[in-house]
Amino acid sequence: MNELIITRTKAFLNEEPQTTTQAIKDQLIASADLVEPLLTARVEAQRRLAVEKNRLRHPKDKDLTDLDRSIMLADAVSSLQADYDLLVGLESSLSSRTTLLYALL
């Protein structure tokens, strides 16, 4: 699911903004069609990240400092964090593109 919406969003963002009114309107519709699935994917990624952080949180231990535990946790969820960060970045880029398209109208 995430791969499909990521691919679709990247493809849309790689297109050059159009200059004709009808083409801009078509791109705005295409942009609007991406918002909900991208939001859903980002929320799901955020949920998975939170669940894994809670599951992998290391209990207090006299041999490990807070920094040690923090580093271990960050390492364990780095892939999920990267997925989440990518979706956040795509949402931001899509929002910027939509703003640009409205300005071109």
Q: For 12-34, how does the pLDDT look when each residue is reduced to its tens digit (9 = 90+)?
A: 999 999 999 999 999 999 999 99
- Say what the pTM is: 0.88
CATH of domain 2-104: 1.20.58
Count of alpha carbons within 13 angstroms of residue 70, beta-carbon side: 3
Angle at CA of residue 27, ends 23 and 33, nearest 5°: 145
pLDDT in tens, 55-73: 988 777 778 888 888 899 9
Place of tokens 């390492």: 75
Segments making up each domain of the chain, as ranges: 2-104
Nearest partner of 38 among 65, 8, 78, judged by Cα: 8
- Tokens representing residue 79 in the block: 């892939």
